[in-house]
Structure 1
Amino acid sequence: MKKFSEMKTPFLVILLFLGLGIILGTKINLYWEVILISLILTLISTIILWYYESQLTKVIVLILILLLGIMQVEALEVEYKSSSSITNFVRQEVTIQGQVLSSSQSGAKEYEYILEPNFVKLDNNINKIKYGKILLKLRSNRQEYKYGDRLKIKCQITLPPTNRNPGGFSYRSYLKNKQVYALITEAGIREIKLKGEGGNQLVKMILRLRENASRIINQTIDRPYDFLLRGFLLGDKEQIPLKIQENFKNLGLNHLLVISGFHIGLLILILNSFAQGLRLPKWIANIGGLLLISIYIIITKGQASVVRAGLVVLLYILGSTFNRKINICNLLSLVAIMMLMINPYYLFQPGFQLSFLITYGIIYLMPVLKRRLSFIPNIIATSLAVSLAAQLVAFPILVYYFNQVSLIPILGNILVMPLVSLIIFCGFIAVLLGHLHLVFAQLLNNISMLLIIILLGVIDSLKNLSFLTFKLVKPHYLLIALYYFLLYQFKEIITYNIIPYYSRCKERITISIMVILLVLLLLHGHSILNEELKLIFLDVGQGDAAYLSLPTGEDILIDGGFNEDEMANFLYRNGIGDIELMIISHFHQDHVKGLLKVLQEFDVRVVLFPEPKVKNRLVRNVFKVLKSKQIDYYMINDFRKLNVGEINFNIYHYSGAIIESNNNSLLVKIDYGDFQVLFTGDAGREVEKNLVKRGIKLNSEILKVGHHGSNSSSSQLFLAQVKPKLAVISVGKNNQYNLPDLQVKDRLYKIGSDILMTKNKHAIVIKSNGRYYWLEKK
């Protein structure tokens, strides 16, 4: 067995096991004391086995690294819940004193500051804060603060909002990954005072260079082009107009707006050009490079992408200075390890994953792809090979996080990268010369502005290729792992011609087929063994929307809320591509508008709804999509029973004269063994009375309360027949109707029903095995 010292890329192996440990740390809940003891025992075992030169040493070292990853995550969780954490003072009136670590402008009307709290005063008790930073959001008309300012704030601290629906963006998790645990907004501030200045003087001096650079750009280039140039050079992406950001994002070119190794490389190129012109020794140029990169990291406020790229180049310069043989994969892995040791949550940031994976992919695939493209000019072949390699590696990550993939970057990078290179190059030189005189900066930035105008013109032209951008649902973890495994395995197939080199590829092909079959078996086997009905009442604000996943694998939707994107985004983010059955309770916008995009972009097999009483634009659009996509649909006028696997759907419609449009709602009762759920749409008391009179069995464990808890529904007679153990009210926070009605809640409490509301709990997830049900914790 090879020792680590004999491996070509030992740091890559260490990185893989450290990453696996961090992932396990987020999935399992263990007492940190248990992990610490395990870590110590493993370390002792490693020392003993190493001393006796045992063959097991390597295995134990890898287990040690795995435990270290788990320990890192658990340690941060202990800090987060610690009595010295800022999270212990949320939702309380406190006085905070802390220091500004960084500042940024978020749009035209708001500034954001990262604050490191020193202490919190609560009820005349002073508590020292050791863990957690605070995000402070202020209106732009307030006094502007800078790095090092010490602030005293009387306020109420809150936790950042979490995701409303499964798979959605969690601002709390996003900030927690940056070790920002709490939030202060304008609404919670009573008083804010500047108490003095602090901070590192060297950092302050470097940040003044940033301010000077911004001033030079602002004075020498017109808007909005100055915003784009500041984004390219200083990482001020937030200032770039949203329309431009959206254009880059939709074309899959938003990576160009993020500072990366490309920027660092241009800086070093400029420095080396000056050094060669002045005939300076190489070691002086290297020292200058180390200083320049360190300063640039601070100027860009330590953005993770700059730190990643900067560390790689710093280590490369150090290695070349001492004449060390450098393996780029090893170097990249070492930088990734260093960053994960600082903050293990970097692993879950898309930028971290994409930057490292794309670089690995270019190193691994680019030479092979370039050889395959040898029939075209070398410079085009190189650009195309790099672009293809990057897209192949980035594909599953882009789909996983953004539900979108585009073929445009393959061509776009070839057209856009030369322009971006020239813009950044001219911009850097302009900022440097601008410190001598603005005239020099003006001359160069005139060129930069012309290049930016051309760049935006190219971007507008590429928008015509939007048909090359595809929306895809979130892939399963196993499919992502399978994709990268096959990408690694089939490099040899694209390296050689398959027929003459079949014997060389035979083993790889056999292994690949076996792995494919194993993944398919695992995915399909899970659905075969599953006996759970999953029901999610989505938080769509003031509206209704529910999703059901049946034990046999079918996906059902009942209503879709008012927001046209909410339901579609939920499906994309949870890997749901096919809808077996869609039920529209009635054609009010707060129930059906969110389903229109689902009908347009997903495979829907059958749609059920009552006959619409008003043929408005929304109704016409629904029927237009149903017709264009040839989706089967049925209008329910009285009663229909539908069986899907072991689940029975009993669908009722009021057969009397409908005067009030809410009474046109379908009522859906779902039976799964001894478990029942009743959906009532917006049906009023007249419909409820009719159902009771007809003797329909309404008893249900779960009731989706009618009309968002309005007093026009949920009569005492009706509730006495349903007898729900749990009542779910889909209602928006601070809604203008002041729902749910207090009388409805009183009636539910009187029959012994528990009440959950989406405005308080966000999405409500319920599971049942047909015998009993339970609420799933977030």
Structure 2
Amino acid sequence: ATIMVITFFLSIVFDRERHLLHTLALAAFLILLFSPPSLFDVSFQLSFLAVLSILYLAPRIYRNLRGEEIYIPPEISWKQKIWKYVNLSFIVTVVAILGTAPFVALHFNRVSLIGFLANLFIVPWVGFLIVPISLIASIFSFFFYPFASLLITVDQFLATLLFKVVAFFASVPFASIYLPTPSALEMILYYLLLYLGVHLRKGKKINPSTFRPEGRGLPLTRAQAEGLRVDPERRFFTLPSKTGFGAAEWVKYLFVGICILLAADLAYWNLKDSFRKDLHVTFLDVGHGDSILVEFPKGKRMLIDGGGLHEDRFDVGKNVIAPFLWKKKIQRIDTLVLTHPDPDHLKGLNFIASQFKIGRFWDTGLREDSEFYLELEKTLQRRKIDRFPMNENIRSQVINGVEISFLNPPAGSAGPVRRQNPAWLNNQSLVMRLRFKNIILLLTGDVEKESEERMVRKGYSLGAHILKVPHHGSSSSSSLIFLEKVKPDHAIISVGERTIGRLPHPEVIERYKRLGSKIFRTDQHGAITLVTDGEKIEIKTFLKDDY
């Protein structure tokens, strides 16, 4: 902003033509010249996009809607000035939001729907009250501090009111919506659509003699249209043509064409998973906790656990899992699963349950009285999501060719949690065996030796190619008798760099090495994705080369 102002005033001093778009381009050039990484900075992107949108789109939209230029003539009445100011403020707010929306969605997966109205109050409140008072206070602070202090107190009061107003608008239902991460193609098509949209105009074809040679591709101003004997209310963007064919038709065709491309893009993302033949399983890096995304053939999806930090308000569901899903254009989870109500499996699920379409919810029937569990329960009830308690007596489920068997907990375990006995809660974890053709995965939650030995005694078929290591590699799990039955080719450990206790335990790691299992850890490899066609397995890691 400082560079733009200095450049603008220099153009006045040296009596040069002033062009705000050129000034904006110069400001961007100078910033990137001295700090190239600024190009990837969110504040740089949003600031310049907002200003560019205001400078380019606002005058054209206002001219199209009102049939007049965007400036406020001094000769009109004060009522007309106020009305025109309100119109201008609304249009400026709209174009700023429209111009930045793709990058806001890219970085935050969220777009405001109420900003159009909120800014009508917030912008003048800040621009005409808070900022001027702050500037005056800073000047008086050099020679009359008591008065400056009084102004700062007033400013503080105004800022407090502003925060309350912002909080009010934010609390309005559907004040903002969450969106999947837009692709580069979608962003390009969006901006082309926005550009063409402001040049869609009604009117007759303009003869080539009316084309502006000094500004190709620009709309005629009212004065130019009048000078060329073109109806000022019916002028529009045009291209030179020997036949007199105006560009309005080209603009319309391009506009419709881009709309069709965007519709095709939407259809592609909604249908592409329906043709998937492989099973994809991703162990997300959620620190100390579990979260597993299972993508079945033909498009069904299951999310097992939502991670969460025991003594931290950081929302893993909102800040880790949801962005991952949005990046993959996922907006529906067919089956949401909670293996057991421990914070490191539970806390991230509430955001997912509240912001994504959920088909059904599986858990073990254990009920918790913690804040996070009660929030999740309320969300399930509010959204009328069907809930199914699962245990070893539930018959196997088949989802698009993948058979899911339940090996734990024992029947009759549902009920209040025995919070005084953490080992008991871990041993009630939902254990699922997934079989896709000839490939088997064993997902174990946080079961400990007691449940491991029980499953061995029950004679369950435990052999698996992929094992989600029980209880994050704790010494209280991965018993030798259990591992000898499973004999996994690959062992996946979901664990954080800063874990509770000594996890994974060195003795546990050694057991897997003696079995010949290849170990993958989310704290070292990041997200771990396995892809299988039912015969062979491909494992990809976020932080290292594929295996």
TM-score class, shorter: 0.7 to 0.9
Q: Deviations over 1:712-754 (max 9, x none)?
A: 3222222122211221222344444323333322221110112
1:642 is matched with 397
- 2:356 matches 1:606: no
Q: Identify if the C-alpha distance between structure 1 residues 407 and 521 changes in structure 2 by more than 3 Å, giving closer, same or farther.
A: closer
- 2:247 matches 1:492: no
Alpha-carbon offset, residue 361 of structure 1: 0.8
2:288 is matched with 542
1:460 is matched with 164
1:774 is matched with 539
Q: Distance in 2 between matches of 1:348 and 1:548?
A: 32
Aligned with residue 39 of structure 2, among 340, 344, 347: 347
Q: Identify if the C-alpha distance between structure 1 residues 342 and 532 changes in structure 2 by more than 3 Å, giving closer, same or farther.
A: farther
Alpha-carbon offset, residue 356 of structure 1: 1.3
Q: Distance in 1 between matches of 2:41 and 2:351?
A: 29
SS at 2:298's partner residue?
coil
Return the letter of the residue paired with 1:458. Answer: L
State how 1:333-412 maps to structure 2 within 5 Å.
333-371=25-63, 372=65, 377-412=83-118
Q: Distance in 2 between matches of 1:373 and 1:447?
A: 40
2:20 is matched with 328
> Does the aligned pair in 1 maintain the 2:111–2:176 contact within 8 Å?
yes
Aligned with residue 480 of structure 1, among 187, 192, 196: 187
1:126 is matched with none
Aligned with residue 451 of structure 2, among 664, 684, 687: 687
Aligned with residue 154 of structure 2, among 421, 430, 450: 450
Aligned with residue 5 of structure 2, among 313, 329, 347: 313
2:416 is matched with none
Q: Distance in 2 between matches of 1:521 and 1:572?
A: 21
Q: Distance in 2 between matches of 1:442 and 1:569?
A: 45
- 2:382 matches 1:675: no
Q: Distance in 1 between matches of 2:18 and 2:450?
A: 79
- 2:486 matches 1:722: yes
Q: CA RMSD in A?
A: 3.2
Q: Identify if the C-alpha distance between structure 1 residues 629 and 518 changes in structure 2 by more than 3 Å, giving closer, same or farther.
A: closer
State how 1:34-73 maps to structure 2 within 5 Å.
none
Q: Distance in 1 between matches of 2:542 and 2:494?
A: 18
2:384 is matched with 630
Alpha-carbon offset, residue 667 of structure 1: 0.9
> Does the aligned pair in 1 maintain the 2:286–2:320 contact within 8 Å?
no
Alpha-carbon offset, residue 384 of structure 1: 1.6
State how 1:491-570 maps to structure 2 within 5 Å.
491-493=198-200, 496=202, 506-520=252-266, 523=269, 526-527=272-273, 530-563=276-309, 565-570=315-320
> Does the aligned pair in 2 maintain the 1:419–1:455 contact within 8 Å?
no
Q: Identify if the C-alpha distance between structure 1 residues 516 and 411 changes in structure 2 by more than 3 Å, giving closer, same or farther.
A: closer
Q: Distance in 2 between matches of 1:624 and 1:520?
A: 32
1:745 is matched with 509
Alpha-carbon offset, residue 341 of structure 1: 4.2
Q: Distance in 2 between matches of 1:622 and 1:749?
A: 39
> Does the aligned pair in 2 maintain the 1:662–1:683 contact within 8 Å?
yes
Q: Distance in 1 between matches of 2:252 and 2:374?
A: 57
SS at 1:557's partner residue?
strand
> Does the aligned pair in 2 maintain the 1:542–1:735 contact within 8 Å?
yes
State TM-score, norm by structure 1. 0.54
Alpha-carbon offset, residue 529 of structure 1: 6.1
> Does the aligned pair in 1 maintain the 2:341–2:373 contact within 8 Å?
yes
Q: Identify if the C-alpha distance between structure 1 residues 526 and 333 changes in structure 2 by more than 3 Å, giving closer, same or farther.
A: farther
Q: Distance in 1 between matches of 2:378 and 2:19?
A: 59
- For these two proteins, the number of residue pairs brought into alignment is 465
User: Structure 1: which 5+ residue stretches go unaligned?
Assistant: 1-308
Q: Distance in 2 between matches of 1:605 and 1:647?
A: 18
SS at 1:476's partner residue?
coil
Q: Distance in 2 between matches of 1:317 and 1:599?
A: 54
Return the letter of the residue paired with 1:565. Answer: D
Q: Distance in 2 between matches of 1:486 and 1:662?
A: 54
Aligned with residue 586 of structure 1, among 336, 340, 360: 340
Q: Distance in 1 between matches of 2:443 and 2:36?
A: 44
Alpha-carbon offset, residue 508 of structure 1: 3.6
Q: Distance in 1 between matches of 2:104 and 2:203?
A: 30
2:463 is matched with 699
1:5 is matched with none
Alpha-carbon offset, residue 631 of structure 1: 0.7
Q: Distance in 2 between matches of 1:741 and 1:342?
A: 49
> Does the aligned pair in 1 maintain the 2:525–2:542 contact within 8 Å?
no
- 2:476 matches 1:712: yes
> Does the aligned pair in 1 maintain the 2:318–2:351 contact within 8 Å?
yes
SS at 1:556's partner residue?
strand
SS at 1:463's partner residue?
helix
State TM-score, norm by structure 2. 0.75
1:131 is matched with none
Q: Deviations over 1:85-128 (max 9, x none)?
A: xxxxxxxxxxxxxxxxxxxxxxxxxxxxxxxxxxxxxxxxxxxx
Q: Identify if the C-alpha distance between structure 1 residues 614 and 527 changes in structure 2 by more than 3 Å, giving closer, same or farther.
A: closer
- 2:438 matches 1:665: no
Alpha-carbon offset, residue 656 of structure 1: 6.3
Q: Deviations over 1:410-437 (max 9, x none)?
A: 33333233343343334334434544x2
1:16 is matched with none
2:239 is matched with none
Q: Distance in 1 between matches of 2:5 and 2:283?
A: 50
State how 1:26-105 maps to structure 2 within 5 Å.
none
Return the letter of the residue paired with 1:699. Answer: G
> Does the aligned pair in 2 maintain the 1:384–1:414 contact within 8 Å?
yes
After TM superposition, the runs of 4+ consecutive aligned structure 1 residues lying more than 6 A away are: 373-376
Q: Deviations over 1:585-634 (max 9, x none)?
A: 12233222321232223211111111216666655544332222111221
Q: Identify if the C-alpha distance between structure 1 residues 506 and 670 changes in structure 2 by more than 3 Å, giving closer, same or farther.
A: same
Return the letter of the residue paired with 1:641. Answer: S
User: Structure 2: which 5+ residue stretches go unaligned?
Assistant: 68-79, 205-233, 237-247, 414-422
SS at 1:492's partner residue?
coil
Moved more, 726-735 or 699-708: 726-735
